Structure 1
């Protein structure tokens, strides 16, 4: 998670004192990287996934599950032992995460894809267009005639395909071998009872008065204590904003949910009341009463610590593009897909022991790390009423800017930038759009600063740049090459997805995104919609059952270069469905949407996730049908194509509603459990039974269909 510098962290007043120093030198470090690497080119598209896990401990006798706090210390040390000893070609790499019960696993080496002949030709065309500053309408016909006779096999292009899911399974098994008999490693987005009484092992209670989080519910012991960054982050966010986090989620209203739903903070505190003196109890009562006055909100679940957000798990994918131009293209074109993939991967229906009326964790993390002061949130100084600089969003939120040249018109929301740094970037020969992006990130203060890293060489290190960059947690992240790693190029990180209950589902989502990058990079697939519509989609995506019940703004029609359409039409391997779809695409081939504001808003329409993924309407052919055209236009061996189809079918069925999202499945399990009282409460026994089933699923003791049958049978008995 972010920059893990070794050293002694400064306290908040000292960190604040050096904020301008960090930002100024961070800009200098970016400029050095930009000048040195702006022309770097890599033919191979490298990429890798990141999966975050929770380690839980089962108390089978009492039907209770706790989060195991040894994950970030004992387990991580063992998992990193081979890497620390200098071993190479490892199957997996392990990194710490915010919570003491979390670990992050990645493949030992990035996967790589070499473009085929057609893609190389199209990429060369794109580079030539960039250099000449104009659109090259067509390519030589003989290029594609030659391709028909020398069609690449996708087997070599996608030789990673058989590794992705297998590697995910190996990662899980690596951890499992180190666990006690009553522990499990789970890929779950949220632990339903995090923040309730005694939810950790060893038993840990809150330090509300003098702790790092000052939380009523989430103890400091649950924060990773293997590296000072994590606890310091938590403390400095509270220090900067002037109070603990204020996270509010609407309660899911059931038949017996109190009306109105109003929490008693003191009763809910994670403290051992029997072991406290009357003075201590009185102090806790006073603090909780003060919080109620400031933060209690009718019909909402209140949370107050960074751990409620950063203690959730996710699935991320990082791509290394061929060059700076392609990285910017990927960043922009993947952005409209962020809300769609968030909704399809939704896995977070419960928080702090309650069923909530959202399915995703995104807004929880956004509020959990919101370090804005009251005046920055309101744009008004609360002491005198004067107008001050307003920062519209938390530093964890959706992106605000497209950054690829030519896409400026889609940036239709107000964006705050640091004008001094913007001019410094312009003077350093950074183009206005990229300069605006970096200057926007640099409106933030550094949150953690190590005294050993105050004064560093801006030409060889990039810690100050990464300090700001890594604490802007957004749906997409544009990542320049590190200053001290020549083998790494320009990268883009896709960040909105929630972790899934099975390795197969995680692999399906990852491979779906990878395949879409082939369309985007090779065929210049244009998915852009106004940024305001992306923001609207982000809010919609978090709603309950958004994957099947909501509509999202999306680009209508599909435009591909005429040369690509002709190649599809001529390809000898097209199946009947692909031929038909190819004819639909050819109707709009080469017809560009005029880049005016009016045309920009007319270019998008509200569609269901099913229409976006599978097509079926007049406005969009569907991403999966389009991928099938792409795949069927090349010769693919039967085994590879079969596996691709299996993954694409999982995504297609999720969008159709044939397969529930993890959030919907968990919600159904809880609400149909025999111990559920229709009061929106997830008690210990309900969570225990649910996680026993999920652990069995992830340990291959049951199949996904068995879990669906369990829920179906509970529902039948409940009714």
Structure 2
């Protein structure tokens, strides 16, 4: 579920009670490390746009009676990583892939090893890369396994496997600890969230109501229900720190819009939910807030624990998995005054805030960083606390940064790296096909280029962004919901202080994409104007047009979201009882269909329209070298040549037969035409009786031709060529 760049340290995580004594040290030194790191990289610049995507996959086993998790994520990742190493010389730089571990032991994540560049032909490379990764993953699957790009396993917490529940890590009555990646970090995250909170996490989602539905909510009790979700994330490298802060703000506004357009989570714990997205599920699954932190008002008797951030009693509005809290851009021009849109109270660690300001960090960025430190570090490794050098390492800062899972993440350059300032969009849900995943990735890239190139402003008050995040969850939000959006995107030279330019109105996603009235042009027309203005090559322009057409049709309701399609699949399945329950056989058939759609074996017009996905095959996973072939004996070579020579003769003979068939068909057509003319001339209405001998004569000629054609067809069928032969 997007590990967020966390480094999988090898070592022993401290148990929570032992880690508590280290929390204050890590928080304080995390701030120090950020300040040192910021100063070292404040002036770092990169001239070229770079971006990359992350796609997560689940591995599932299908059987006659249902579906289950395939807990081979680590094995599959190791196999794929080893194969990548073996094939390095055969794979071009643009085709190399990195495989990463994920939270679930049934999950694996892929990224292109090298980021995409800021050239138009790389917009086409995105889909190609995604298809290659899917093909390579197929190569690692067993015969009874599938790996569709679905957000969640439909039966998680509802399957009848014999794995033990109530394990020491998750303490869940619904899922076993075996589903958690065996790396120590993931188990420690799971257990420490529970222990800091003081109870199991509580996930509650609205239950889809049907004729025989009982109850009104779906409940789950473990981190796996959220962090076991798969998503599509896109990271952008910016020119410098200032541009990265501007991009962060723009993506914060886009985040809920993109989540609604990619909605793909209609099922939780074996039941249909009445929401379309995963975000709230994940948010609840990692909510480590104490009872006092979750309360609307604090009891006067609460003393808390002084070792925790805010003593564990400071009111925190949200889980540590939430929407962006505040804008950070410090541009001082007329139309990008970010601070004026920060209308939401942001909790901060006051000591961190004052230290940051004292070191010269501006108020907007200081607030953003100090907000990270209202949380506690969740995993501290033995021997990696006081031993970390604040001047050269950023482990403690990244400890907090990587476990504040926000809709957009602002990412300073890694230590000892040429990588620049980056921003990550985290809200999009993974789609069933690489065509769709590429469409949304490319669309985000182009919208961002439009906003930067045309210097446009899409700021809305942060409270409206949060409201948009809530609205994006609703069933059918992509085509039916309205979202807060600017009525005017101010261009350079226009004042931004006026009421007209600063007004925020409700729009459908279709209006946001295609325009409204004469005052708002829409994102899609701006993208197309941008491509035209830079002289985009025809092949890329054509592909982008197909991408934006898909997105617009989804917003109009002409095409379904993955969430709507999956819900309809369940509701129309012959085993469905109209009770909102996804049975094992329904889940199996759903996963098989999703897999078939993803690899191009099945075309689903309600999802893709006229866009047909070319088949993805494991045989195409890697390049094949044009190497020398050594035959053991000359006779084996001769045998092979004889086989191909014989086949060439058969193909030649078939061609002759086909030509004969065509000639005879033409003759038959002519005879049938002649027969019809004679029959018409001999109609009884003309007062002339038809001659029986004449009828018999023409009938016999037709039969003779038909028999000849039938013989020719028989010959043709015996010479049916293998796939790939042409005539």
TM-score by length of 1: 0.79
In the alignment, which of 369, 372, 378 is matched to residue 289 of structure 2?
372
Equivalences for residues 321-470 of structure 1 within 5 A: 321-378=238-295, 380-381=297-298, 384=301, 388-405=313-330, 406-454=337-385, 455-470=387-402
Kept in 2: contact 1:52–1:314 (CA 8 A): yes
Find the counterpart in structure 2 of residue 310 from structure 1.
227
Equivalences for residues 161-560 of structure 1 within 5 A: 161-198=123-160, 203-206=162-165, 208=166, 210-225=167-182, 227-258=183-214, 261=215, 299-378=216-295, 380-381=297-298, 384=301, 388-405=313-330, 406-454=337-385, 455-485=387-417, 487-560=418-491
How much does 1:379 deviate? 5.1
The Cα offsets for residues 632-678 of structure 1, whole Å up to 9 and x where unpaired, read as 22323221211111111111111111110000000111111111111
Kept in 2: contact 1:374–1:382 (CA 8 A): no
In 1, Cα distance between equivalents of 2:538 and 2:228: 42
Task: Specify the SS of the correspondent of 2:275.
Answer: coil
Task: Specify the SS of the correspondent of 1:659.
Answer: coil
Kept in 1: contact 2:53–2:232 (CA 8 A): yes
The Cα offsets for residues 237-275 of structure 1, whole Å up to 9 and x where unpaired, read as 0000000011111111111112xx1xxxxxxxxxxxxxx
In 1, Cα distance between equivalents of 2:505 and 2:256: 15
In 2, Cα distance between equivalents of 1:502 and 1:221: 29
Task: Specify the SS of the correspondent of 1:665.
Answer: helix
How much does 1:450 deviate? 0.4
How much does 1:82 deviate? 5.3
Q: Does 1:49 align with 2:53?
A: yes
Task: Specify the SS of the correspondent of 1:322.
Answer: coil
In 1, Cα distance between equivalents of 2:470 and 2:7: 29
Farther-moved stretch of structure 1 (510-519 vs 79-88): 79-88
In 2, Cα distance between equivalents of 1:706 and 1:39: 49
The Cα offsets for residues 320-358 of structure 1, whole Å up to 9 and x where unpaired, read as 100000000000011111111100000001101111110
Q: Does 1:95 align with 2:96?
A: no
Kept in 2: contact 1:3–1:467 (CA 8 A): no
In 1, Cα distance between equivalents of 2:263 and 2:429: 6
Task: Specify the SS of the correspondent of 2:218.
Answer: strand
Kept in 1: contact 2:265–2:277 (CA 8 A): yes
Find the counterpart in structure 1 of residue 113 from structure 2.
108
How much does 1:558 deviate? 2.4
Kept in 2: contact 1:401–1:411 (CA 8 A): yes
Kept in 1: contact 2:561–2:607 (CA 8 A): no
How much does 1:162 deviate? 2.2
The Cα offsets for residues 9-47 of structure 1, whole Å up to 9 and x where unpaired, read as 000012221111111111111111111110111001111
TM-aligned CA distance change 1:680 to 1:383, over 3 Å: farther
In 1, Cα distance between equivalents of 2:9 and 2:140: 27
In 2, Cα distance between equivalents of 1:647 and 1:452: 50
In 2, Cα distance between equivalents of 1:83 and 1:471: 30
How much does 1:548 deviate? 1.1
In the alignment, which of 39, 44, 54 is matched to residue 43 of structure 2?
39
Q: Does 1:593 align with 2:466?
A: no
How much does 1:86 deviate? 11
In 1, Cα distance between equivalents of 2:422 and 2:87: 26
Task: Specify the SS of the correspondent of 1:53.
Answer: strand
Kept in 2: contact 1:459–1:483 (CA 8 A): no
- Structure 1 unaligned residues grouped into runs of 5+: 114-156, 262-298, 562-589, 710-719
How much does 1:386 deviate? 8.1
Q: Does 1:65 align with 2:67?
A: yes
TM-aligned CA distance change 1:532 to 1:104, over 3 Å: same
| Equivalences, count | 586
In 1, Cα distance between equivalents of 2:409 and 2:441: 16
The Cα offsets for residues 451-498 of structure 1, whole Å up to 9 and x where unpaired, read as 13112111221111100000000000000011222x111100000000
How much does 1:87 deviate? 5.3
In 2, Cα distance between equivalents of 1:189 and 1:616: 33
Kept in 1: contact 2:201–2:222 (CA 8 A): yes
Task: Specify the SS of the correspondent of 1:675.
Answer: coil
Kept in 1: contact 2:152–2:265 (CA 8 A): yes
Farther-moved stretch of structure 1 (87-96 vs 171-180): 87-96
The Cα offsets for residues 94-137 of structure 1, whole Å up to 9 and x where unpaired, read as 10000001110001101111xxxxxxxxxxxxxxxxxxxxxxxx
TM-score by length of 2: 0.78
Kept in 2: contact 1:380–1:386 (CA 8 A): no
How much does 1:537 deviate? 0.6
The Cα offsets for residues 560-583 of structure 1, whole Å up to 9 and x where unpaired, read as 23xxxxxxxxxxxxxxxxxxxxxx
The Cα offsets for residues 207-251 of structure 1, whole Å up to 9 and x where unpaired, read as x2x5211111011000111x1111110000000000001111111
TM-aligned CA distance change 1:69 to 1:382, over 3 Å: farther
In 2, Cα distance between equivalents of 1:523 and 1:106: 30
Task: Specify the SS of the correspondent of 2:536.
Answer: coil
Task: Specify the SS of the correspondent of 2:121.
Answer: coil
In 1, Cα distance between equivalents of 2:606 and 2:481: 28
TM-aligned CA distance change 1:404 to 1:678, over 3 Å: same
Task: Specify the SS of the correspondent of 1:558.
Answer: coil
Kept in 1: contact 2:295–2:315 (CA 8 A): yes
Kept in 2: contact 1:320–1:492 (CA 8 A): yes
TM-aligned CA distance change 1:162 to 1:457, over 3 Å: same
In 2, Cα distance between equivalents of 1:501 and 1:322: 33
The Cα offsets for residues 59-91 of structure 1, whole Å up to 9 and x where unpaired, read as 1x32x11110011x2111112225678958461
How much does 1:691 deviate? 1.3
In 2, Cα distance between equivalents of 1:374 and 1:401: 25
Find the counterpart in structure 1 of residue 588 from structure 2.
688
In 2, Cα distance between equivalents of 1:470 and 1:379: 27
In 2, Cα distance between equivalents of 1:612 and 1:358: 22
Find the counterpart in structure 2 of residue 678 from structure 1.
578
Find the counterpart in structure 2 of residue 79 from structure 1.
80
Kept in 1: contact 2:146–2:592 (CA 8 A): no
